[in-house]
Chain A
Amino acid sequence: MVKYEIKKVFARRGGVIALLIMLVLTVYTCWFATNSSSEWVNENGDTETGYHAMVKKREAQRAWSGILDEEKIRRVIEENLRITSTPEYNSKDVRLSNIAFGWGQGIHEIRGLLNHYFAVDFQTSDYYRANSLTPDMAGEFYPNRIRLLKEFLADEANGSYYRFSDAEKDWMIRQYEALKTPFYVDYMQGWDNVLTYYPTVSMILIMVLGYLMAGIFSNEFQWKSDSIFFSSAHGRNSAIRAKLAAGFLIVTAVYWAAILVYSLTVLGYLGFYGASCPLQASGRWKSFYNLTNAQAYLIVILGGYIGCVFIAFLTMLISACSRSTVLGVMTPVLIIFLPNFIQNLSFDAVIIDKILALLPARLLELNMELVYFDLFDFGGFVTGALPVAIALYVILSAALPPVIYREYRRKEIM
């Protein structure tokens, strides 16, 4: 039964075309995610692109990999100062300043961390901040992150003082303090990009999956095959369960196939280096989730899977109730645009953020949630929104199939 339910979905030309479109868009996203980090400025100040350029940059940065302790930080600051004090760096000549930029490519990522960790305050980012550091400041690197957070939370002017409860503030500070330092740094462009571009893939996926799921229940009515379906021995029980199973299997197979293609392509190209580096050793330095890159990515793709399963079941429910494939196809679109709509409501910002954090659309972009300051305080038990959202949708996804089943079989078939 399940086999034929799956066949129904892909026997249509539309089903196959949807998969092809998805494949093309996924490959395009892979290209985007790899190409954007494949630039190398050579010793003549010329920009090279392509795989070899990426490898040169990777090697230059890997030369600086290792524990980012006070000693290494000091050396990076010194190296940066050495470069910034050269005549080339300060030259008005574009070629010369390009050459100077080229020298700094090896320490570029760590230099970026200096900008973040030594920021004048939590919300200011200054690309030139590293240039004003002196080697003796190296020891302040790690404590600074905690200090910045504390100042941010205590600042009445920026509103964050009122925004978080005391328990939430305490929890965040404890999370910051729990980050193991000094941490290990490595070239981690692969993980960075695979996280950054993930929502593009998940959006493509959910649209295609929605399209594939939308007809599973409603097409029986549109094809008028419902009379035979419901008057068959299993038409009111296991044939319906077969539809649910087919939907679940299609979502699972298509999702993981696309994610596998995407992840392996991007990471295979840029490299798996930095899998065990903390998320905080990158632009995601503010995150209060103490996870490694690989852990974070795993959570992001798992959350996205749960989101896709939930939205797919919701699509099935809508199309089973309304008997309309069109409404089914529109369900994921509405879910994706719902956050935009809610954001435009003039409502208390804190509540809006908490709602947004728990909408199904957010599960498709958990890479964002990793760095958002969305917290839930359940009577003193504080946690970030990420586990709450995942737990919530695991439960909701499990609750939907029985509802669809009952809804679909109950009908007096008109």
Chain B
Amino acid sequence: MELKITDLTKQFKEVAAVDGVSCTMTGGVYGLLGANGAGKTTLMRMLCTLNTPTSGQITWDGQDIFSMAEAYRRILGYLPQDFGYYPDFTVEDYMLYIASIKGLRPVVAKRRTAELIRQVGLDKASGRKMKKLSGGMKRRAGIAQAMLNDPQILILDEPTAGLDPTERIRFRNLISELSEERIVLLSTHIVSDVEYIAKEILLMKDGRFICRGTADELIASMPERVWSLTVPKKEAEGYLRRYKVSNVKAVPNGAQLRILSAEPPAGMQSAQLQEATLEDVFLYHFGERSGDGNGEV
């Protein structure tokens, strides 16, 4: 079980959406972390044989996935970022149809559909039309369809986008549950989605992997340290301009800042050294905080 990407590039006219990326994946969860436009979707679509690389190679156990074609797609499960479905199909029909185009035999399709609908908690909604499901339920149906063929490679493109905090936690647990004995590649721009469940995190920026490793390795490799200090409200502005600030919190005597800096912030002896988190690493690399406001769960 080895999915190997070698020097992979995808050029869209002027933009190199994916730019000379290499990586080898064996079992476990891989977190693809990047800001908007980093190239996550483009990379994943190539892994799903939907787009062809401009150059470079993707192999599965040494074989080119594009020449494997159907044989490769048999072991693939994909939840796209723009999850599209058949609006007038019931959840059950939807699952059975996807099972059929995935080449499952009808008996197996029925069994897997029932199992997965239960596993993702859609039992009560299985007779409802897809278009009548809530956003979270749709995502669950989406992940269920990806799992139908018990794929060895499961690709999830921002599966948690737009979900509320509780739903997001449920999802994270579900993914973690599903990750046994397969490769799960999960893209997100929310650190907490992958912080605890990913075996390896790939930080992607402008089409390249700028940094990779376990959460601890990424934190250890960050050259800056994290300081916490409280400043009067009117000075906070100045710090925000000079430093990378990962958090601002209003406190009674001013503002408490969380600052990334190799040295203690100038003139502030009171600054306390903090333990860095993956969130700080994200800020360090992308110059912005991760997430979409629901990040801190």
- Knowing A11-B86, A11-B88, A223-B86 touch, does A234 contact B101 (C-beta < 8 A)? yes
Given contacts A228-B145, A233-B73, whether A412 and B101 have CB atoms under 8 Å apart is no
What 0/1 readout, one digit per residue, does chain A (207-238) give for beta carbons within 8 Å of chain B?
A: 00000000000001001111111111111110
Minimum CB–CB distance for A93 against chain B, Å: 66
Give the contacting residue for B52; candidates A12, A242, A412; CB below 8 A: A412
Q: Is A354 at the interface (CB under 8 A from chain B)?
A: no
What B residues does A224 contact at CB under 8 A? 80, 82-84
- A227 to B85, Cβ gap below 8 A? no
Smallest beta-carbon distance A102→chain B, Å: 58
Residue of B nearest to A12 (CB): B88
- B73 near A237 with CB under 8 A, answer no
Do residues B86 and A225 form an inter-chain contact, with CB atoms below 8 A? yes
Q: With A412-B50, A412-B51 as given contacts, are A231 and B87 in contact (CB-CB < 8 Å)? A: no
A290 nearest CB across to chain B (Å): 50
Cα distance, A185 to B98, chains bound together (Å): 60
Q: Nearest chain-B residue to A9 (Cβ)? A: B88
Task: State whether A235 and B101 are in contact (beta carbons under 8 Å apart), knowing that A230-B50, A412-B52 are contacts in the complex.
Answer: yes
List the B residue with the shortest CB-CB distance to A5.
B97
Are B87 and A233 in contact, with the CB atoms below 8 A?
A: no
* Interchain CB contact under 8 A, A1 and B70: no
Cβ B78 vs Cβ A231 within 8 A = yes
What is the bound-complex CA distance between A231 and B157, given in angstroms?
14
In the assembled complex, the CB of B172 is this many whole angstroms from the nearest CB of chain A, namely 22
Which B residues are in CB contact (< 8 Å) with A163?
none
Number of interface residues of B (CB under 8 A): 31
Is the C-beta of A264 less than 8 angstroms from some C-beta in chain B? no
By DSSP majority rule, is chain B's interface helix, strand, loop, or mixed? loop
| Chain A min CB distance to B161 (Å) | 14
Which parts of B40-69 form the interface with A (CB within 8 Å)? 45, 48-52, 69
The winner among B83, B97, B101 for most chain A CB atoms within 10 A is B101
- Counting chain B CB atoms within 10 Å of each CB, the highest count among A229, A232, A239 belongs to A232
**Which residues of chain B are near A229, meaning CB under 8 Å?**
101
Partner of A231, one of B76, B89, B96: B76
Closest to A2 in B: B100
Q: Is the CB of A231 within 8 A of B48?
A: yes
Measured between beta carbons, the chain A residues less than 8 angstroms from B48 are 227, 231
CB distance from A215 to the nearest CB of B (A): 11
Q: Which residues of B contact A231 (CB under 8 A)?
A: 48-50, 73, 76, 78
B195 CB–A CB distance under 8 Å:
no
Tell which of B52, B86, B101, B145 touches A233, judged by Cβ atoms closer than 8 Å.
B101
Q: Which of B49, B80, B103 contacts A228 (CB 8 A)?
A: B80
A413 at interface, CB cutoff 8 A: yes
Contact partners of B45 in chain A: CB under 8 A? 227, 413
A8 in contact (CB, < 8 A) = yes
User: What CA separation (Å) do A236 and B74 show in the bound complex?
Assistant: 12
Contact of A8 among B73, B82, B89 (CB under 8 A): B89
B50–A227 contact, CB under 8 A? yes
CB distance from B53 to the nearest CB of A (A): 11
Q: How far is the CA of A7 from the CA of B70 in the complex (A)?
A: 25
B49 near A225: Cβ-Cβ < 8 Å: no
Residues of the A chain whose Cβ atoms lie less than 8 Å from the Cβ of B87: 223
CB pair A413–B78 under 8 Å, yes or no, is: no
Interchain CA distance A124-B93 in the complex, whole Å: 64
Interface hub of B69, B86, B89, B93 (most chain A Cβ within 10 A):
B86
A251 to B73, CA, bound (A): 32
Is the Cβ of A233 less than 8 Å from the Cβ of B74?
yes
Among the interface residues B70, B97, B98, which one has the most CB atoms of the partner chain A within 10 A?
Answer: B97
- The docked-state distance in angstroms from the alpha carbon of A1 to that of B93 is 11
Task: Report the nearest A residue to B88, measured CB to CB.
Answer: A11
- Of the candidates A4, A8, A220, A234, the one having the most CB atoms from chain B within 10 angstroms of its own CB is A4
Name the B residues within 8 Å of A8 (CB-CB).
86, 88-89, 97
CB interface residues, A 1-51, toward B, < 8 Å: 1, 4, 7-8, 11-13
Question: For B96, what are the chain A residues with a Cβ–Cβ distance below 8 Å?
Answer: 4
Is B70 in contact with A233, judged by CB distance below 8 angstroms?
A: yes
A228-B78 in contact given A8-B86, A223-B86, A233-B103 (Cβ < 8 Å)? yes
Once bound together, how far apart are the Cα atoms of A238 and B69, in whole Å?
A: 13
Residue numbers in A under 8 Å from B85 (CB-CB): 223, 225
The yes or no answer to B187 lying at the interface (CB within 8 A) is no
B50 near A236 with CB under 8 A, answer no
Q: What is the distance, in angstroms, from B184's C-beta to the closest C-beta of chain A? A: 16
Q: How far is the CA of A413 from the CA of B96 in the complex (A)?
A: 23
Pairwise interchain contact B50-A234, C-beta atoms closer than 8 A: no
Assess the B51–A232 pair: CB atoms within 8 A.
no
Contact B93 A4 (CB under 8 A): yes
**Is the CB of B230 closer than 8 A to any CB of chain A?**
no
Q: Is B102 an interface residue (CB 8 A)?
A: yes
CA distance A236 to B65 in the complex (A): 14
User: Nearest 7 CB-CB pairs, A to B?
Assistant: A224-B84, A11-B88, A4-B97, A225-B84, A227-B80, A231-B48, A233-B103
The 21 listed contacts between A and B (C-beta, < 8 Å) are A4-B96, A4-B100, A8-B88, A11-B86, A12-B88, A13-B88, A227-B80, A228-B145, A230-B50, A231-B78, A232-B101, A233-B70, A233-B101, A233-B103, A233-B149, A234-B102, A234-B103, A239-B100, A242-B101, A412-B50, A412-B52
